[in-house]
């Protein structure tokens, strides 16, 4: 392990800048956004330097560590606050700082009319710092700090416009749903500590043989719960749609490209646990498969462009989670899809933001239509992202998604066939709903119902979108060329235990199948949405559409199964508190008061009665002494 | 005469004093009864000094007399003051400390 002194700047710079922007206050309004963007760009530069330095080193020497300080030292239990930059973290560092910087630049223009732009940038920097701590921490405890930090930043940014009560509620919902996952992570850390006496990744990795499968399964399931919360996976996915209340750059950065992929990072980082716990791994697969279909189905029915994209994010992360569940061979593909998804989804979200910017913050796609000719650059970049997400060769999504589908089919047995069909179906639905989004937004009749024509966004917004769409075109080819990413990640994800089952379908067959289902999906959408559309959602629709519009009743389920019983439980506890706890305290008071008022009558002010009492006291004392000594 | 008789006398004097304190209302009489109890104690001290053949009890008796003299000065002053302000020397009338 190499020692490095530079890693601390990844976290210190954005954290410091965030603190400055928040503490200096209004005086920083004129330069706050510039400072925050510069800081974000400089972390990206450090990331690039570290990447090339890492590439220059021999494979077994690539990871670097930096010990910051001894955090907890109790007896034999020692936790250092130390950072680890290895082949896996550098992927995330480059994604976070790179996409993060582009989104900072975009936000300068997007938020230029907002009075609170400085505060927005302070939160963005806070997010960058926390997310980098999350991926750079060398132990679960350090990761947990970053994990909570991004949760906080996400909460602050979703509720950035908290003067609208609905947005504040959305922020709270995201926070509460995330807390459920966080409990899972903290339980996983506790079990890991009880089992191994250690919380560092390297320490646990060495000891996995010593633990029983049951212990590893417990840790794995708790980690999966954590991943479900942060990555909006079934059954904790309901917050992501509402999280779109935040400003669009936030949706692009936090709720599409980076933070929501933290669950994928967590599972990949814990590969040594999941590889030894087949039940936990199976649960990962199930969660991934369910969510990718769940998200895709929801995506088909949403008229809010951001919510449609959010459902798509949910579904794509489902793909990644499913890939991580496929064992050693899947991790690299999950990370590959994560990186390509970071590019094309961020580009599409920023494109959606650009459309909203031109359309006076209208988000309902039924009120769009024909925007393509007014905003050509946005339309083209969005189109590139669209081709990437549905997996048209040679765009990025083709390389990454195909690999996942292929690996799923080849997982062996009925499991492989079921997963393969689920991923293939997901690909078809993805093609359908993304085509729907594109047609409703950029083609067809103009339905916005006012005379002002939409205008193209300023260059400061278009340049980041263009750069991201270049990424969504090229990243898939670059990452898969000569298996570059797979080989790069090999030392981290332990592919030594890889075993080759016989292949069900060859690579070409899977590609052909995927392309054909994508064509089917696209053509259904084109048939359905070509021509003039109404500017209101149709009323007479199938039951499935109604369900999809309501997020497949996840909110109702949560409300009926958790929220109402939880509230009634709390009401009961409150009553117990009033009756028992407060009752006990109050009755102490009541007893004291009544005893006092009884005893008070002894103090009658008559000297003679006091004297009598003294005499009685002395006499009884003498009597006692007499009895005791005799 | 057996020396225990002095002790019996002291006990009787003390009892008379104690009963007087409890049953009498006039502050002067109560005060005299307290003096009686003090002197009963003094008598007991002196008797014990005689029984044990040393001087300690007699020394304590002198101390008691000094304390009693001081007490008479303070006590009579209080009683006179109370009498002046309330026109009564009854201890039951001076019961302002009750609730």
Q: Structure pTM?
A: 0.78
Gap from A586 CA to chain B (nearest CA, Å): 25
Burial profile A250-269: b = 16 or more Cβ within 10 angstroms, e = fewer:
bbbbbbbbbbbbbbbbbbbb
Residue with tokens 């996952």: A181
Q: Is A606 left (phi over 0), alpha (psi -120 to 50) or beta?
A: beta
With H, G, I as helix, E, B as strand and everything else as coil, classify residue A6: coil
The CB density around residue A506, as the number of other CB atoms within 10 Å, is: 12
CB contact under 8 A, B18 and A615: yes
Q: Between vectors from CA A386 to CA A385 and to CA A390, what angle results, nearest 5°?
A: 120
Q: How far is B98 from chain A (nearest CA, A)?
A: 4
- Tokens representing A584 are 């006990």
CB A335, CB A489: distance < 8 Å: yes
Which residue stretches of chain A have pLDDT < 50? 497
By the 8 A CB rule, do A257 and A346 touch? Answer: yes
Q: Which two tokens stand for residue A85?
A: 């930059």
A476 Cβ partners below 8 Å, 6+ apart?
A336, A340, A388, A394, A395, A396, A397, A398, A399, A400
Contact A603 B97 (CB under 8 A): yes
> How buried is residue A165: exposed, middle or buried, by Cβ count under 10 Å (0-12/13-18/19+)?
exposed
DSSP codes joined into one string, A91-143: HHHHHHHHHHHHHHHHHHHHTTT-TTHHHHHHHHHHHHHHHHHHHHBSBHHHH
Reported as a single tens digit per residue, the pLDDT across B6-19 is 999 999 999 999 99
pLDDT at A481: 81
Structure tokens at A397: 């999504």
What pLDDT does A511 receive? 86
* pLDDT for res A582: 92
Q: Which helix (H) or strand (E) segment is A317 a member of? A: helix A305-325
Vertex B8 angle, CA B3 and B9, to 5°: 95
Beta bridge partners of A81: A69
Backbone dihedral region for residue B9 (phi beyond 0: left; psi -120 to 50: alpha; all else: beta): alpha
Contact check, Cβ <8 Å, B97/A605: yes
Cis peptide bond prior to A397, omega within 30° of 0: no
Separation between Cα atoms, residue A255 and residue A335, nearest integer Å = 17
From CA A337, how far away is CA A335, in angstroms rounded? 5
Assess whether the previous peptide bond of A512 is cis (omega < 30° from 0).
no
What is the tens place of the pLDDT at every residue in A38-82?
Answer: 999 999 999 999 899 888 888 878 888 888 888 888 887 788 888
Span B26-34, average pLDDT:
92
**How far away is chain B from the Cα of A590, in angstroms, using its nearest Cα?**
20
Q: Quote the pLDDT of residue B99.
A: 46
Query: A337 CB contacts (<8 Å, ≥6 apart)?
Result: A316, A319, A320, A323, A397, A400, A401, A403, A404
| CB spacing of A608 vs B91 below 8 angstroms | yes
With tokens 């410091």, the residue in question is A16
Q: Which residues of A touch B98 (CB under 8 A)?
A: 603-606
Three-state secondary-structure class, residue A157: helix
Is A608 within 8 Å of B21 when comparing Cβ atoms? yes
What is the total residue count of chain B? 99
For A72, the 3-state DSSP assignment is: strand
- Say what the pLDDT of residue A226 is: 92
Q: What is the pLDDT of residue A411?
A: 81
- Buried residues in A12-32 as b, exposed as e (16+ CB within 10 A): ebbbebbebbbeeeeebeeeb
Residue A502 pLDDT: 60
Q: Please give the full DSSP string across A420-440, using - where no structure is assigned.
A: HHHHHHHHHHHHHHHHHHHHH
**Beta-carbon contacts below 8 Å between A and B:** 34
């Amino acid at each position: 392990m190499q020692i490095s002194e530079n890693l601390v700047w990844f976290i210190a710079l954005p954290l410091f800048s965030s603190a400055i922007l928040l503490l200096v206050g209004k005086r920083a309004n004129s330069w706050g956004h510039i400072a925050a963007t510069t800081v974000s760009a400089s972390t990206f530069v450090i990331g690039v330097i570290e990447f090339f330095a890492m590439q220059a080193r021999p494979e077994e020497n690539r990871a670097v560590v930096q010990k910051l300080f001894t955090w907890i030292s109790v007896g034999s239990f020692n936790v250092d606050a130390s950072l680890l930059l290895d082949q896996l973290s550098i992927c995330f560092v480059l994604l976070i700082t790179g996409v993060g910087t582009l989104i900072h630049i975009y936000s300068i223009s997007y938020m230029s009319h907002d009075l609170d732009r400085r505060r927005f940038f302070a939160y963005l920097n806070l997010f960058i710092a926390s997310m980098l701590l999350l991926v750079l921490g060398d132990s679960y405890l350090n990761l947990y700090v970053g994990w909570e930090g991004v949760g906080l930043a996400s909460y602050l940014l979703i509720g950035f416009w908290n003067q609208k009560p609905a947005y504040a509620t959305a922020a709270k919902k995201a926070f509460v749903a995330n807390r459920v996952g966080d409990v899972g992570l903290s339980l996983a850390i506790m079990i890991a500590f009880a089992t191994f006496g250690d919380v560092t990744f390297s320490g646990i990795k060495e000891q996995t043989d010593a633990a029983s499968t049951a212990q590893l399964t417990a840790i794995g399931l708790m980690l999966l719960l954590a991943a479900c919360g942060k990555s909006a996976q079934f059954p904790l996915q309901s917050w992501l749609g509402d999280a779109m209340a935040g400003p669009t750059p936030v949706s692009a950065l936090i709720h599409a490209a980076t933070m929501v992929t933290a669950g994928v990072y967590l599972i990949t980082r814990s590969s040594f646990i999941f590889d030894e716990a087949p039940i936990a791994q199976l649960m990962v697969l199930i969660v991934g498969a369910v969510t990718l279909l769940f998200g895709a189905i929801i995506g088909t029915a949403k008229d809010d462009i951001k919510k449609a994209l959010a459902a798509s994010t949910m579904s794509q992360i489902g793909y990644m989670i499913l890939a991580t569940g496929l064992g050693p061979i899947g991790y690299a593909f999950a990370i590959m899809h994560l990186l390509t998804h970071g590019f094309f989804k961020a580009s599409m979200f920023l494109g959606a933001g650009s459309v909203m910017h031109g359309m006076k913050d209208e988000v309902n796609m039924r009120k769009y239509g024909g925007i393509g000719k007014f905003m050509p650059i946005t339309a083209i970049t969005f189109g590139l992202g669209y081709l990437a997400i549905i997996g048209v060769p040679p765009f990025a999504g083709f390389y990454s998604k195909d690999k996942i589908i292929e690996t799923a089919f080849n997982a062996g047995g009925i499991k492989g066939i079921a997963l393969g069909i689920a991923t293939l179906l997901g690909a078809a639905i993805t093609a359908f709903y993304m085509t729907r989004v594109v047609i409703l937004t950029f083609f067809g009749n103009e339905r916005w119902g006012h005379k002002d024509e939409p205008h193209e966004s300023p260059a400061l917004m278009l340049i980041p979108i263009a750069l991201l769409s270049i990424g969504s075109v090229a990243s898939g080819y670059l990452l898969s060329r000569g298996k570059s990413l797979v080989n790069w990640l090999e030392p981290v994800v332990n592919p030594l235990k890889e075993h080759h089952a016989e292949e069900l379908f060859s690579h070409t067959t899977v590609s052909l199948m995927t392309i054909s289902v994508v064509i089917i999906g696209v053509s259904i959408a084109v048939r359905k949405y070509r021509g003039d559309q109404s500017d209101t959602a149709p009323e007479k629709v199938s039951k499935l559409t109604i369900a999809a519009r309501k997020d497949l009743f996840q909110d109702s389920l949560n409300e009926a199964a958790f929220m109402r019983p939880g509230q009634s439980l709390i009401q009961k506890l409150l009553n117990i508190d009033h009756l028992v706890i407060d009752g006990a305290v109050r009755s102490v008071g009541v007893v004291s008061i009544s005893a006092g008022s009884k005893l008070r009558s002894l103090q009658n002010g008559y000297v003679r009665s006091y004297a009598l009492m003294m005499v009685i006291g002395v006499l009884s004392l003498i009597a006692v002494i007499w009895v005791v000594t005799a | 005469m057996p020396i225990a008789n002095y002790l019996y006398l002291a006990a009787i004097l003390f009892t008379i004093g104690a009963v007087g304190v409890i049953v009498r209302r006039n502050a002067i009489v109560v005060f005299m009864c307290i003096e009686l109890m003090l002197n009963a104690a003094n008598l007991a001290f002196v008797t014990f000094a005689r029984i044990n053949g040393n001087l300690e009890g007699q020394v304590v008796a002198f101390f008691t007399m000094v304390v009693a003299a001081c007490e008479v000065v303070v006590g009579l002053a209080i009683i006179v003051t109370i009498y002046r302000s309330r026109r009564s020397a009854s201890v039951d009338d001076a019961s302002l400390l009750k609730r």
